[in-house]
Chains A and B, each alone.
Chain A
Amino acid sequence: MRRAYSIMNIVHAFLNLDTNETGNGDDIVILSDEDIVAASITNPDHYSILIDRYTAPLSRYVRRRASVSQEDVDDILQDVFIKAYTHLTSFDPRMKFSSWLYRIAHNHIISWYRRHEVRHRDRIMLDDHDALKLFSGDDGLGPDVQAIFNDDAQMIHAALAELPDQYRDVMMLRFFEGLDYDSMSDVLKIPPGTVATRLNRGKKKLQKIIDGMHHV
């Protein structure tokens, strides 16, 4: 059974249970991101809950976006969370907190590329498990591309690295982070229609690059 809790109950729950859930047994309440954001503005200790929730997915996202050491990943993550904390009051509950956080991470990674002069080709790091996601869902790449992947997985990685940034961004957010079109619109600050267009063009472009590589 779910119940609504006041902010004070959230504080009580956090201090007593050291968890982002409150209640016991069958009576579990999951605190929403928005509730925790509101509590974190007045008390940074509550912010830990959000950090715990999003460290893993953001960490994977950062690792995928650049071939960097774990130390650099941790540094980037810390910067992202610090920046998010200092901008908590600008978070608009009309969007998902995860989208907002991904937006900060996305922009921070781009700045990081520029500061460290990361080459275009090094702006992606996938494992084969990740790459399989390209073929999932109704809008995934076709079986002909999957056949190429089965023969030579590295070709897919190389092809993705060759994609222009604007297409690769939507491809990665869609297939590897599992974001919907609205969320991608909020992350990249482009209209949802543009997201769909870029995704479509990105897939075609990727197909073309792969065909070109395959026939060389």
Chain B
Amino acid sequence: MNPNIRNNIIQRIKQDELAPEKRWRVVMRRLLIWVPALLSLIVGSLATGVILFRILHAGWELQSVTHDTYGAFFFDILPYAWIILVIILVITTHWALRRTHRGYRWKESLIVLSTLILTTLIGIIVYQTGIAYTIDKELENRAREQYNSMRSNLAIDWHNPSDNRFAGEISVDSINQDNLNTISQDGQVWKIDISNALGRDEIGDARHVRVFGSYTDPATRDVEACIVVPIDIDTTNKEEGNMMAMLSNSDMLMAMAEDDRYSLSRSCNKLLYDRAMIIQE
């Protein structure tokens, strides 16, 4: 042992008045790294909740009407931006946990697995309590140009005038209770006659509707509605009005077309009948 090394070190400590770092600084530094870990976990859980909400309320009962196959429907409804966000946040959580005081001793698989499990469990709570629905709605309210809520996506998926399907937000200047002005997601205004439509009494205070009907005048976008249902999703996350699901059932369509109790117009009866024929083919 070289005594000079010892003496030089002690001398330098005393000369430069070096001292061990204050204990509270050490504790603060160790606690601070938990902040990004917990923040990432919380935001990741919120995002997971929104993913669950958007997948579970994507209009599965109408898949046969809006899409040709379940596969096409599934890939269409996946909230890719949210999924990417969750992946990034899981990575961030992992990074931060690794840098905690004893985090280096934990197995990789343990960190990743526990992060995923925690995120999923908290995400389920976020979904069940309606927080996911609120986040989705508020994001659209605050960033309408950049973000489509679940409700907007349902309208987008449904709106296909060439297939007699229309969807949009009821305009505040709607004419009367028999006629609605709706604005589709692409900004076009549609005049919907719902005077003889099934479901017209269920609209209530809903602001968004799905319509099955036919053009009366394509130039002016006048539509006669045969079926109208709201597409608002309430805070308990139940979608209202899956009456439209019958549009994929030829027997039901035929029954409606031939049953006078529904008081549908002749053009609506023909529309329903023709659709039933197409399905049977």
Residues of A within 8 A of B (CB): 40-41, 44-45, 47-48, 51-52, 55-56, 59, 74, 77-78, 81-82, 85-90, 92, 94, 185, 189-194
Contacts and interface: CB of A to CB of B under 8 A. Distances in A.
Interface of B: 1-2, 4-6, 8-10, 12-14, 18-23, 26, 101-102, 104-108
A81 B9 contact: yes
16 contacts: A41-B20, A44-B13, A47-B13, A48-B6, A48-B10, A51-B6, A55-B1, A55-B2, A55-B5, A78-B12, A82-B12, A88-B20, A88-B21, A90-B21, A189-B104, A192-B105
A86 B8 CA distance: 15
A78 B20 contact: no
Contact of B21 (A47, A52, A86, A189): A86
Contacts of B23: 89
Contacts of B107: 191, 193
B5 A74 contact: yes
A51 B106 contact: no
Q: When A and B form their complex, which 4 residue pairs have the shortest distance between CB atoms, in order from nearest?
A: A189-B104, A88-B20, A90-B26, A51-B6
The binding surface of chain A is classed by DSSP as helix
Contacts of A190: 104
B10 A191 contact: no
A193 B110 CA distance: 12
B227 to A, nearest CB: 60
B73 to A, nearest CB: 43
A201 B253 CA distance: 68
Given A82-B9, A89-B20, A90-B26, 12 more contacts: A44-B18, A45-B10, A51-B10, A55-B2, A74-B2, A78-B5, A81-B5, A89-B22, A89-B26, A191-B105, A191-B107, A193-B107
A78 B18 CA distance: 14
Nearest to A188: B104
B27 to A, nearest CB: 9
